[in-house]
């Protein structure tokens, strides 16, 4: 059977080098002629945490353009917005009625907030909206609506995948075997360091930009903290942020050569220059494409409309079957 690979991209913020290496690149590597691939922008998921409409819109645009510039080819993959497939919400309700509340009580994002609230002596559900609580059900609907067989996700989503299977299994057992139980493809949690050495994250303010100018990339690399060893003094590559970042972009031979250069006392200035060049070489065409697409008015709107047009009939067909299975259809 053909694999149907599907993954959702939450539209928050602007992608950085960490997102590129950890999510975009590995997901696009799974696109192959003998698979069907579905990539969608999980824009309704973004509402859980973001209440600023301008930010929501900007994120959808930046995230979509980042993926497209990085090589997502809409003629080879299905690419659409979650919000353009209203059947997802109809399925969410149906699944809500199969999902045990106790199952969702155990979801780690929800549990973490409850634990924090309890510790600080607040009401345990303080700042918890129903979107956050039932997030895994919407995610299950995203997957099940297109009968995905394989879902590449980060390790933090493994639990949500188990929940999707659990909920689908309950539905199938109660009605009939309509929903496909998806398999998770857990992608390596590669930890890309930011320019302060901690994990790269917008919330640490340590990101290395991906789609901004060459100057911004240079500046961000210049800020990376090193020790005060002088040129000529041997340096240790292990646990060095510059070296780690370099390794993500370099070939095995280049990595070996860089290790040798550390031993021989390469200057920090030269390591930074090499790091800039290797990153810039890889992302230059992506950046150029991004700036080009960004200027094309209606490009994204047309693309989203085509994407939805291609996939929505499948969603409608599945919903038709489900309605019939649960007894909500023509009266005979
Ligand atoms: N929850 C996923 C994340 O934060 C994004 C997502 C939403 C998703 N719906 C999905 C991923 C469906 C895979 C399949 O990474």
Q: Do residue 179 and residue 268 come from a single domain?
A: no
Q: 104 in a domain, yes or no?
A: no
> Does 61 share its domain with 183?
yes
The answer on 155 and 16 residing in a single domain is yes
Residue 241 has a pLDDT of: 96
47 occurs within a structural domain: yes
Q: Does any domain span residue 278?
A: yes
Asked if residue 24 belongs to a domain, the reply is: yes
Is position 109 within any domain? no
Question: Are 35 and 95 in a shared domain?
Answer: yes
> Would you say residue 207 lies in a domain?
no
Looking at the fold, whether 141 and 254 belong to one and the same domain comes out as no
pTM of the model: 0.93
What pLDDT, on a 0 to 100 scale, did the predictor assign at position 119? Answer: 97
Query: By three-state DSSP, how is residue 39 classified?
Result: strand
Angle at which helices 130-144 and 87-96 pack, to 10 degrees? 110
Longest dimension (CA), the chain: 86
Residues 322 and 234 in one domain: no
Residue 66 lies in a domain: yes
The verdict on 270 and 316 lying in the same domain is no
Backbone angles phi, psi at 196, to 5 degrees: -110, 10
CATH number at residue 260: 1.10.240.10
The residue among 127, 157, 123 whose CA lies nearest residue 139 is 157
Q: How far is the CA of 47 from the centre of ligand 1 (A)?
A: 13
Tell me, what's the pLDDT at 189? 80
| Domain shared by 221 and 72, yes or no | no
**How is residue 71 written in tokens?**
């090589």
For ligand 1, atom 7: residue with the closest CA: 8
Q: Please identify, by atom number, the ligand 1 atom nearest to the C-alpha of residue 23.
A: 15
CATH of residue 93 = 3.40.50.620
pLDDT, residue 239, reads 86
Q: How far apart are the first and last CA of the chain?
A: 36
- Domain membership of residue 206 (yes or no) is no
Are residues 78 and 222 both part of a single domain? no
Along the chain (332 residues), what's the average pLDDT of each consecutive run of 10 residues?
94 91 92 95 94 95 96 97 98 98 96 96 96 97 98 94 98 98 91 92 89 94 94 95 97 98 97 97 96 94 98 98 95 84
| Total domain count, the chain | 2
Same-domain status, 24 and 59: yes
- Which numbered atom of ligand 1 lies nearest the CA of 10? 5
315 shares a domain with 279: no
Boundaries of domain holding 288: 212-292
Ligand 1 site, CB within 6 A: 6-8, 10, 42, 45, 139, 142-143, 151, 153, 157
CA angle 166, 169, 171 (to 5 degrees): 110
Single out the residue of 168, 144, 19 nearest to residue 9, CA to CA. Answer: 19
Same domain, 287 and 302: no
The minimum-distance atom of ligand 1 relative to the CA of 82 is: 9
Torsional class of 20: left (φ above 0), alpha (ψ -120 to 50), beta (otherwise): alpha
pLDDT of residue 111: 95
């Amino acid at each position: 059977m053909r694999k149907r690979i599907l993954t959702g991209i939450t539209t928050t913020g602007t992608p950085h080098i960490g997102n590129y290496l950890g999510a975009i690149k590995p997901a696009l590597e799974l696109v192959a002629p003998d698979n069907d691939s579905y990539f969608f922008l999980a824009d309704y998921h973004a509402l859980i945490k973001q209440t600023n409409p301008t930010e929501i819109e900007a994120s959808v645009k930046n995230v979509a353009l980042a993926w497209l510039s990085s090589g997502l080819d809409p003629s080879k993959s299905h690419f659409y917005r979650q919000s353009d497939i209203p059947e997802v919400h109809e399925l969410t309700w149906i699944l809500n009625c199969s999902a045990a509340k106790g199952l969702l009580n155990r979801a780690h994002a929800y549990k973490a907030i409850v634990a924090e609230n309890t510790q600080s002596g607040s009401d345990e559900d303080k700042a918890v909206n129903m979107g956050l609580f039932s997030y895994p059900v919407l995610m299950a609907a995203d997957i099940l609506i297109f009968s995905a067989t394989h879902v590449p996700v980060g390790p933090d989503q493994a639990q949500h995948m188990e929940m999707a299977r659990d909920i689908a299994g309950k539905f199938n057992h109660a009605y009939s075997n309509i929903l496909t139980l998806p398999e998770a493809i857990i992608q390596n949690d590669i930890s890309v360091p930011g320019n302060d050495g901690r994990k790269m994250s917008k919330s640490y303010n340590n990101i290395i930009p991906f789609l901004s100018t060459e100057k911004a990339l240079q500046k961000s690399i210049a800020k990376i903290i090193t020790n005060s060893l002088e040129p000529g003094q041997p340096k240790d590559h292990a646990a060095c942020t510059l070296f780690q970042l370099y390794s993500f972009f370099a070939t095995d031979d280049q990595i070996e050569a860089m290790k040798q250069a550390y031993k021989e006392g390469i200057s920090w200035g030269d390591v930074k220059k090499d790091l800039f060049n290797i990153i810039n070489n890889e992302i230059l065409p992506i950046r150029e494409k991004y700036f080009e697409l960004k200027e094309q008015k209606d490009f994204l709107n047309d693309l989203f409309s085509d994407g939805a047009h291609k996939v929505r009939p499948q969603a409608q067909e599945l919903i038709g079957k489900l309605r019939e299975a649960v007894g909500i259809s023509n009266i005979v």
